[in-house]
Amino acid sequence: MTTTLFGQIDAVPIAAQTGPFAGVALDRAIDHVLDYHVPPALAGELQVGQRVRVPLGRNNRPARGCVVYINPVAGHPKTKDILAIEDSRMLLSPKILELARWISRYYVTPLGVVLQSVIPSAVKRKQGLGHKRMVRLIRDRAEAQAILEKIKAPRRRAILARLLNLEEGQSIELSRLAEEAGSTTATVRKLLAAGLISIVDEADLPGLTADLPCGRADETDLKLNEDQQRVFDELRPRMDGGFSVSLLHGVTGSGKTEIYLQCIRRAVEAGKQALVLVPEIALTPQTVRRFEARFRRVAILHSGLGQTDRHRYWQMIAAGAADVVVGARSAVFAPLTKLGVIVVDEEHEQSYKQETAPRYHGRDVAVKRGQIEGVPVILGSATPSLESYYRTRSGESASRYHLLQLPRRVRGLAMPVVELVDLREELRRRRGIHLIGMRLENLLRQTLAAGHQAILLLNRRGYSNFVYCAHCNEVMQCPYCDATLTYHRWGGAPVGSAALDRSVHAGSLHCHYCLAVSPLPGACAACGKKLSLFGLGTQRVEEELAKKFPGLAMARVDSDTMRSSRDYEATLGRFGSGEIKVMLGTQMIAKGLDYPNVTLVGVISGDTALALPDFRAGERTFQLITQVAGRAGRGDSGGRVVLQTFLPEDAAITAALRQISARLLN
């Protein structure tokens, strides 16, 4: 009996379903994992980590998701049946699933949305994955032997005899069986009709990874200097097992990568695998070359790969055929089964932060994975993030976060000489608008005359970052998000007032936040007066360089010119060969580059990011200046850094100057 508002009524019993029941995290923004009944036909095949197809909603529309648990009882009195297993592979290991659950809780994101980031779309769609028709004997071997003695047709006898030579339960490809038996596939299918064999399509996983390139592994470990040896000796006992976090703080050019390589060598020799994260896709090819020179089985994972290649490398890792995995942020989810060490290079970089759901930070997820797997984590940077450095010095975190320092460059090379140029004084002494100051211009001429190369940094792309009407002070803003629009000049377009008069042929206005593009109007929409271009960008500096240095072999490196990692790699190759003398760019050129012939680094404006509404503006300005300054003086000719700024007294800029002079944090 059940008591209701209308008295006691007989409850209608609901027929209990017998288990098992599977929890499915759907590929949708649904807050809960849904329980589904496992039908008897799938009960023996379904496993945690597989992808399945299930009915969803009143109309039972097919939806896809991952099985995250299997229980004998369900949390609901009535559940729907799973429709089918989408992929027989276990795409989620128990530890990766535990990591995904942590991300879901910590970043307040549905588990199904998290799993969409964990498993690449190319893997879910099986892109590039072929299938083979495999033949298997389904009769008892003794019975099949008796049938063989009765068969008179020689080709059928040869086929059945070849199948009997296989081990129990083993299968063979249809075309290969026909070839080895001296028969045809049609004859093999006659045994199928007789009920002796089965022919099924099976995923060709070995074929997916058959042609992947191997590393050279012809380079030996370098001899460590005194500082490197001290750091390596401290890391060695932590490499033997157990979770720990080591923050390797070394000045630019101090040999942090060699420390990574030798720690990974130790893990690989112990039969384990290594995961190496780099902040940007553009840096991956350079890092991969360093690792392929030491290790043969190196896999790559990042979103810049083609879908088939990404699936191939993922399968290579899952099969245990990779010793080292190098990749960007998403590689933190690589399906490594024998993980021995995790390295996060340039751990301070904001590129590790995912901007769409789930909004995880690759460095923090790497540390959590190290904790779950029970392996050491090495964070490396010349300019560590404040939170990582703080953890090495305070509270309980200090027992697991260890600070290691490399205060000097390898081979005893000196840090570059730093010059600060106050642009306010430059404006008083020089007429007109000059983005390249007199001191930087003179040093650039001397550098080129000596046959050396230079890097110029301005972390702002486009031509002008501010378009407004000087008459009515109307500012051009994005119609979709109200952000200030940036003017991008098209190739070969004229500059100045004439460009504005022929605006439809000169360029366009871009929003760097919502990526909207609109034409540059010929006049102010409010008052009809001419518009003015204010501010600076890499295009404007490129134009000034062309005027002051006619015929200069230079390259502009920003997201407008580098459409893919191949473009970036090709440009760096030309710069490394000396074909390009000056490289101008945004933060893409501020880190990871090692060219001994670069003796001059110029920072066009060191304070472009200081006024941004970001509580990390000062920290990021400090990091960017320090990182790009480290590109100079990596050879025997020494180096010089010219930092132009309107705010020479700013704390972030003065701190960067001290850091460039190799004064490590106390």
Average pLDDT for the chain: 86
Lowest mean pLDDT among 293-307, 501-515, 600-614: 501-515
pLDDT of residue 496: 41
Residues 631 and 484 in one domain: no
pLDDT of residue 534: 65
Residues 186 and 116 in one domain: no
pLDDT for residue 466 is more than 80: no
Bridge partners of residue 202, in order along the sequence: 132
Q: pLDDT-derived band of residue 499, with 50, 70 and 90 as boundaries?
A: very low
Residues 389 and 509 in one domain: no
Which has more pLDDT, 530 or 82? 82
Q: pLDDT-derived band of residue 484, with 50, 70 and 90 as boundaries?
A: confident
Residues 277 and 381 in one domain: yes
pLDDT of residue 506: 62
87 within a domain of the structure (yes/no): yes
Residues 559 and 637 in one domain: yes
Which has more pLDDT, 245 or 144? 245
How much is the average pLDDT of 514-537? 81
Which has more pLDDT, 388 or 88? 388
CA angle, 563 as apex, 315 and 381 as ends, to 5°?
Answer: 70
How much is the average pLDDT of 242-261? 92
Residues 272 and 183 in one domain: no
How much is the average pLDDT of 244-262? 92
pLDDT for residue 347 is more than 60: yes
d(CA 99, CA 334) in angstroms, rounded, equals: 12
Secondary structure (3-state) at 279: coil
**Of 534, 564, 581, which residue is a domain's last?**
534
- List the CATH number of the domain containing 108: 3.40.1440.60
pLDDT for residue 463 is more than 60: yes
Q: Is the Cα dihedral 310, 316, 318, 322 positive or negative?
A: negative
pLDDT of residue 16: 59
pLDDT for residue 328 is more than 80: yes
527 within a domain of the structure (yes/no): yes
What's the pLDDT tens digit per position in 183-228?
Answer: 899 998 888 888 888 887 777 767 666 667 777 888 888 899 999 9
> Which of 561, 590, 555 shows the shortest CA–CA distance to 576?
555
Q: Is the Cα dihedral 378, 385, 345, 92 positive or negative?
A: positive
Residues 576 and 641 in one domain: yes
Lowest mean pLDDT among 60-64, 283-287, 360-364: 283-287
180 within a domain of the structure (yes/no): yes
Residues 437 and 569 in one domain: yes
> Judging by DSSP bridges, how do beta strands 131-137 and 197-203 pair with one another?
antiparallel
pLDDT of residue 46: 94
- Name the range with the highest mean pLDDT among 68-82, 91-105, 639-653: 91-105
Q: Is 466 exposed, middle or buried (0-12, 13-18, 19+ CB in 10 A)?
A: middle
Q: pLDDT-derived band of residue 495, with 50, 70 and 90 as boundaries?
A: very low
* Enclosing domain of residue 270: 226-284+296-308+319-410
Helix axes 651-660, 617-629, angle to 10 degrees: 30
Residues 501 and 584 in one domain: no
What's the pLDDT tens digit per position in 22-58?
Answer: 999 999 999 899 999 999 989 888 999 999 999 999 9
- List the CATH number of the domain containing 264: 3.40.50.300
In which element (H, E) is residue 25 found? strand 21-26
CA distances from 601 to 97, 529, 535, 618 (A): 46, 40, 22, 21
**Of 505, 534, 563, which residue is a domain's last?**
534
Residues 108 and 141 in one domain: no
Q: pLDDT-derived band of residue 252, with 50, 70 and 90 as boundaries?
A: confident
Residues 479 and 559 in one domain: no
pLDDT for residue 19 is more than 90: no
Domain count, the chain: 5
Residues 145 and 192 in one domain: yes
147 within a domain of the structure (yes/no): yes
